[in-house]
Chains A and B, each alone.
Chain A
């Protein structure tokens, strides 16, 4: 039996507003428990919600950037259920009339082809607080700082057919929301969370199989592993004569498996109805056009431009544009150098990204700024140092916070272009290696490389390769 996997993702992106969606409390991460929870967030008797303008603008941004339809009129609805991190006993969300309807994204598959993934809808809602399960003598502690933070829930069509496609889509959304500056995408802090709806069906069948929902996946790696495990679990289950239950599951990264969420197993009747404390959200042309005017160049547009105007490969353009900051850094370097696109791309994707990852830094926190890197690359271009030496210089620049020239001079790393110095080094090597010299002169041409290596070693890599080659050829020939 050949099986097909069907995946839809629901992504919750915390919107990067300063204040909460329905109250004026701060959304800043990491505050002491319940110090950012006011009466509205706490669901006190008599309080009422008032909608944050910026949350609406951010939702519209997303809708426009994904080619979605921005609803001229959308409605907030109450989703009713009891849980300690949900102070009012209901979450204010959107149900029948969300702020963004339809839209799509293109993802690049492993074989390089493009695939369109549909977006069913995106809607605004408030986040819940947090339960801390550390023991307070058998009790849990509830922190409501997060309660009321604005979320944009982005629901995809069930268009993905593999875990890899799902991850590619998730990464694309992740990149996009950061480009749009509507979400910081910080998965460790919980600003970007993913639920995966997974089902299987025999290949060729039109109807969908029963799906299970895997909740709260907060890394790309986990999404891939959880989906793969779940697919395997469902197939084994069906092939063993069982049926997949429509249920909510959690991924256990330590065990590498998904398991059913015991406490939420009973079907929840959310009793959605329009929230009578909020009036319909009306979005007019003026607001839409005002937001449209602020849209940045989107990742796909930027990547296409890098390919067309800079001659980069699609792959390289994709890597560079995965982060708006990285792309910006690259462009800044290229602007300073007035070109050198491939060299710049390699260094930004290579040494720079490597150093950032190693030290756990964001592009904005780079210890080598773009103009400074450009300065280093210029020294490769003008032949002051070799590419190999440049890597050493870069490490020093990163560690010491100095510019290229300062390091080069301090360490005496300039390429030796003084031919007499090179000649001397060659003479020394020839003198020290009589056997190899004799062998070379009797026909063993391959030994040329040996001499190059020895001279480079003797000059600590600083010999100008072109000059070295020429001089060595002359001298070795006799």
Chain B
């Protein structure tokens, strides 16, 4: 079995047993990246020197019998995480010259766990997008079908892991940006509870929605990485000071007795009927293992997309004001005066989708509109959160599809922003309520002569990551969708 097809858990076992070294692994993945990444455009920066140095350091630890479950495992970071001394672009021209002077907490923690940094992955510009088509560095392609998108905004991380160019990669999820690409590329994508993982060093898009997570090929792998990255960070005021459970220990909890709630509002007319069928099959599989299934209603959920498209742009319009060409980032040539410096640096530095969202945000916060839009949206958000809380009184997890359709073709949804926004229709609710959520592979549909993956989504109450991971893990013992690899990458 080729090294790159192993899961992280399997790689870790092999490293500890000294069947191969971290250097072996790293060279193997770097070789694959060199050959296969350009066609997918999954990476912005490949950090070969770093990787080799990290690998050698990891091998020394392993030789001494030291190190932990992730020591020597190569990974990639979404280019939204600041990496000290390494270009950090956020998929934008604005930061195309930005070498971060510090490590994000997530980067620090994965590094402390002994991982090896292969590179920084491509992404939708400033995390704004659902298809990875807004990147300054060009679109990313889906390894399952190169004319299709991998999803976004963590499209580069998804494509890299799906194509076995990295065993795992970090991602961020503000409206579905980990889960939706995971669904479109046959991966397991976890978005933790808001506050579970530090946002320090994660370039901010929408501060009250952003959360760091991971894309892997199994729930077990996700548990390994969550253990490494979760926990209180004094540098992030929104970071929660709560103990981090042993996520691995709980994986084997049986499905019997699990109370599952099927979200009625998710099975609407926008949902592809084939996706719907696969999700129903998955629900049946859980029922067969002893889970009880009932329908739950989250009546305000259909308003989650418009709510999100008020709150997220509002917050990002403010978060992105720091990009002005003065202290870092793109600066226009020969500014005539201060106004020109700002307008041209930002006009040139940001792409259209980012500018649109900044302007939307500026509008909804502006005098006379604040109450009607921003305040109203925050009220609706509260109602949505209350809907979930009410459902969780009767069920342990809620379930539904992750995305309304499988991967769509590049360029097919870029003419109307709303069409693109509706890709997040099932994922946004969890961000608005700050809830943990996971997407796991649940089957394939055939289209255009290709097998396109479909994702099943589970959402839990605050800090229920253990439950989400154990249900996913059990499901992945019953099925092997998650083991399938795209043609040409196995």
Q: Which stretch from A5-13, A43-51, A352-360 is at the chain B interface?
A: A43-51
What distance in Å separates the Cβ of B403 from its nearest Cβ neighbour in chain A? 27
A39 touches B204 (CB 8 A): no
Which residues on the B side are within 8 Å of A49 (C-beta)? 237
Cβ contact of A46, chosen from B200, B237, B327, cutoff 8 A:
B200
A279 touches B237 (CB 8 A): yes
Q: Which residue of A lies closest to B209 (CB)?
A: A276
Which residues on the B side are within 8 Å of A46 (C-beta)? 81-82, 100, 104, 199-204
A42 to B102, CA, bound (A): 13
Which residues on the A side are within 8 Å of B81 (C-beta)? 46
Q: Contact flags (1/0) for B57-101 with A, using CB distance below 8 Å?
A: 000000000000000000000000110000010100001001011
Interface size class of B (residues with CB under 8 A): 35 or more
A269 to B369, CA, bound (A): 11
A78 to B234, CA, bound (A): 21
Please judge, given known A-B contacts A39-B102, A87-B327, A277-B207, whether A45 and B318 are in contact too, CB under 8 Å.
no
Q: Contact flags (1/0) for A41-68 with B, using CB distance below 8 Å?
A: 0111111111100000000000000000
Which residues on the B side are within 8 Å of A272 (C-beta)? 365, 370
**A88 at interface by CB-CB < 8 Å:** yes
B322 touches A45 (CB 8 A): yes
A279 to B342, CA, bound (A): 31
**A315 at interface by CB-CB < 8 Å:** no
What distance in Å separates the Cβ of A124 from its nearest Cβ neighbour in chain B? 14
Which residues on the B side are within 8 Å of A279 (C-beta)? 237-238
Which residues on the A side are within 8 Å of B367 (C-beta)? 269, 271
B235 touches A50 (CB 8 A): yes
A142 touches B326 (CB 8 A): yes
B318 touches A80 (CB 8 A): yes
A45 touches B237 (CB 8 A): no
A271 touches B82 (CB 8 A): no
**A253 at interface by CB-CB < 8 Å:** no
Which residues on the B side are within 8 Å of A465 (C-beta)? none
B365 touches A82 (CB 8 A): no
Which residues on the A side are within 8 Å of B206 (C-beta)? 276
**B324 at interface by CB-CB < 8 Å:** yes
**B314 at interface by CB-CB < 8 Å:** yes
**B10 at interface by CB-CB < 8 Å:** no
Cβ contact of A89, chosen from B203, B207, B321, cutoff 8 A:
B321
B342 touches A82 (CB 8 A): yes
B326 touches A45 (CB 8 A): no
Cβ contact of B318, chosen from A42, A90, A278, cutoff 8 A:
A90
Cβ contact of B326, chosen from A47, A80, A84, cutoff 8 A:
A84
Tell me the chain B residues, 355-396 only, with Cβ under 8 Å from chain A: 362, 365-367, 370, 374
Tell me the chain A residues, 269-283 only, with Cβ under 8 Å from chain B: 269, 271-273, 276-279
Q: Which residue of A lies closest to B94 (CB)?
A: A45
A48 touches B236 (CB 8 A): yes
B315 touches A276 (CB 8 A): yes
Q: Which residue of A lies closest to B90 (CB)?
A: A45
Which residues on the A side are within 8 Å of B342 (C-beta)? 82
A129 to B204, CA, bound (A): 23
Which residues on the B side are within 8 Å of A87 (C-beta)? 322, 326-327
What distance in Å separates the Cβ of A48 from its nearest Cβ neighbour in chain B? 5
What distance in Å separates the Cβ of B49 from its nearest Cβ neighbour in chain A? 23
Which residues on the B side are within 8 Å of A42 (C-beta)? 327
Tell me the chain A residues, 58-108 only, with Cβ under 8 Å from chain B: 78, 80, 82, 84, 87-90
**B489 at interface by CB-CB < 8 Å:** no
Which residues on the A side are within 8 Å of B104 (C-beta)? 46
A43 to B203, CA, bound (A): 11
Which residues on the B side are within 8 Å of A142 (C-beta)? 326
**B1 at interface by CB-CB < 8 Å:** no
Tell me the chain B residues, 403-429 only, with Cβ under 8 Å from chain A: none
**B249 at interface by CB-CB < 8 Å:** no
What distance in Å separates the Cβ of B358 from its nearest Cβ neighbour in chain A? 11
B237 touches A51 (CB 8 A): yes
Tell me the chain B residues, 183-209 only, with Cβ under 8 Å from chain A: 199-204, 206-208
Tell me the chain B residues, 91-131 only, with Cβ under 8 Å from chain A: 95, 98, 100-102, 104
Which residues on the A side are within 8 Å of B322 (C-beta)? 43-45, 87-89
Q: Which residue of B lies closest to A271 (CB)?
A: B365
What distance in Å separates the Cβ of A107 from its nearest Cβ neighbour in chain B? 35
Which residues on the A side are within 8 Å of B315 (C-beta)? 276
B235 touches A48 (CB 8 A): yes
Cβ contact of B366, chosen from A82, A84, A90, A271, cutoff 8 A:
A271
Q: Contact flags (1/0) for A440-464 with B, using CB distance below 8 Å?
A: 0000000000000000000000000
A271 to B321, CA, bound (A): 13
A44 touches B328 (CB 8 A): yes
Which residues on the A side are within 8 Å of B204 (C-beta)? 45-46, 277
Q: Which residue of B lies closest to A268 (CB)?
A: B367
Q: Which of B82, B234, B327, B328 has the most chain A CB atoms inside 10 A of its CB? A: B327
B238 touches A45 (CB 8 A): no
Which residues on the A side are within 8 Å of B82 (C-beta)? 45-46
Q: Which residue of A lies closest to B195 (CB)?
A: A279
Which residues on the A side are within 8 Å of B98 (C-beta)? 45
B324 touches A89 (CB 8 A): yes
Please judge, given known A-B contacts A45-B82, A45-B322, A277-B207, whether A50 and B234 are in contact too, CB under 8 Å.
yes
Which residues on the A side are within 8 Å of B90 (C-beta)? 45
Which residues on the B side are within 8 Å of A82 (C-beta)? 321, 324, 342
Cβ contact of B200, chosen from A47, A84, A273, cutoff 8 A:
A47
A39 touches B101 (CB 8 A): yes
Q: Which of A43, A46, A272 has the most chain B CB atoms inside 10 A of its CB? A: A46
Q: Contact flags (1/0) for A308-336 with B, using CB distance below 8 Å?
A: 00000000000000000000000000000
Which residues on the A side are within 8 Å of B237 (C-beta)? 48-51, 277-279
A84 to B322, CA, bound (A): 10
A78 touches B318 (CB 8 A): yes
What distance in Å separates the Cβ of B283 from its nearest Cβ neighbour in chain A? 35
Q: Which residue of B lies closest to A39 (CB)?
A: B102
Q: Which residue of A lies closest to B101 (CB)?
A: A39
What distance in Å separates the Cβ of B199 from its nearest Cβ neighbour in chain A? 6
Please judge, given known A-B contacts A39-B101, A273-B374, whether A84 and B203 are in contact too, CB under 8 Å.
no
Which residues on the A side are within 8 Å of B323 (C-beta)? 45
Q: Contact flags (1/0) for A19-50 with B, using CB distance below 8 Å?
A: 00000000000000000000100111111111
A82 to B100, CA, bound (A): 23
What distance in Å separates the Cβ of A140 from its nearest Cβ neighbour in chain B? 9
B95 touches A45 (CB 8 A): yes
Tell me the chain A residues, 251-296 only, with Cβ under 8 Å from chain B: 269, 271-273, 276-279
Which residues on the A side are within 8 Å of B327 (C-beta)? 42-44, 87
What distance in Å separates the Cβ of B116 from its nearest Cβ neighbour in chain A? 22
A39 to B234, CA, bound (A): 15
Q: Which of A272, A276, A278 has the most chain B CB atoms inside 10 A of its CB? A: A276
A80 touches B238 (CB 8 A): no
B338 touches A90 (CB 8 A): no
Which residues on the B side are within 8 Å of A269 (C-beta)? 366-367
Which residues on the A side are within 8 Å of B328 (C-beta)? 44-45
What distance in Å separates the Cβ of B209 from its nearest Cβ neighbour in chain A? 9
A46 to B317, CA, bound (A): 15
A109 to B365, CA, bound (A): 44
What are 11 A-B contacts with C-beta separation under 8 Å? Answer: A39-B101, A45-B88, A45-B203, A46-B201, A48-B200, A50-B237, A82-B324, A88-B322, A90-B318, A271-B366, A271-B367
Minimum-distance CB pairs A-B, first 9: A89-B321, A276-B207, A271-B365, A276-B208, A43-B322, A45-B203, A46-B201, A88-B322, A269-B367
Contacts A43-B327, A45-B203, A269-B366 aside, 6 further interface pairs with beta carbons under 8 A come to A44-B102, A45-B322, A45-B323, A80-B318, A272-B365, A276-B207
